[in-house]
Amino acid sequence: MQLDETDRSILRILQSDARTPFSEIAREIEMSSATVHDRVGRLEDEGIIEGYHTSVDARAVGFGTSAVVGLRIEQGQEDDAVERLREIDGVQEIHLTTGEWDVVLRVYAEDTDHLRELMFDNIARIDGFSRSQTMVILGSELEDRSLPI
């Protein structure tokens, strides 16, 4: 599906603030709010808008530790391994990649003890697992996530 400049403007605004009222978007892009309403509905229906999320300070809710984890999985066992990984609380992203690792995860843990538990008791025990590398995040300089639409 082809996006026009109006769709892109709406996406740009919603990306930076998902709670922007349609009436305000309408003002900014100089269209009626009924139009904005229709377009947003269409973008949702077509799956171009995947969802509206609130980013919460991980530390404030008890997740002070985060890591990027690279995993090697034996050939043919990737699908099963991904299923196991999905079930682990704290595993927030699972990416299948080329290069040194087959799977790259983003993991949130309460503290380093909890992270160790996740790694040794949950992740390292997965069938097909052969080796891993944990890169503890000391700080995030950018965690923007908005696309340059």
Q: Which residue ranges make up the site for its own copies (CB under 8 A)?
A: 1, 3, 8, 11, 14-19, 46-58, 60-61, 63, 67-68, 70, 82, 85-86, 89-101, 104, 108, 133-149
What does the angle CA 123 – CA 129 – CA 132 come to, to the nearest 5 degrees?
A: 70
Strand, coil or helix: 69: strand
The nearer residue to its own copies, 30 or 57, going by C-beta atoms, is 57
- The gap from C-alpha 54 to its chain's centroid, in whole angstroms, comes to 12
| Shortest Å distance, C-beta 9 to DNA | 11
Q: Is 15 exposed, middle or buried (0-12, 13-18, 19+ CB in 10 A)?
A: middle
Strand, coil or helix: 104: strand
Identity of the amino acid at 126: I
User: Which option in its own copies, DNA, none does residue 23 bind, with CB closer than 5 to 8 A by kind?
Assistant: DNA
User: Which option in its own copies, DNA, none does residue 137 bind, with CB closer than 5 to 8 A by kind?
Assistant: its own copies
| Shortest Å distance, C-beta 148 to DNA | 23
Beta bridge partners of 125: none
Give the binding site for DNA (CB under 7 A).
4, 6, 21-24, 31-35, 37-39, 42
User: Which option in DNA, its own copies, none does residue 82 bind, with CB closer than 5 to 8 A by kind?
Assistant: its own copies
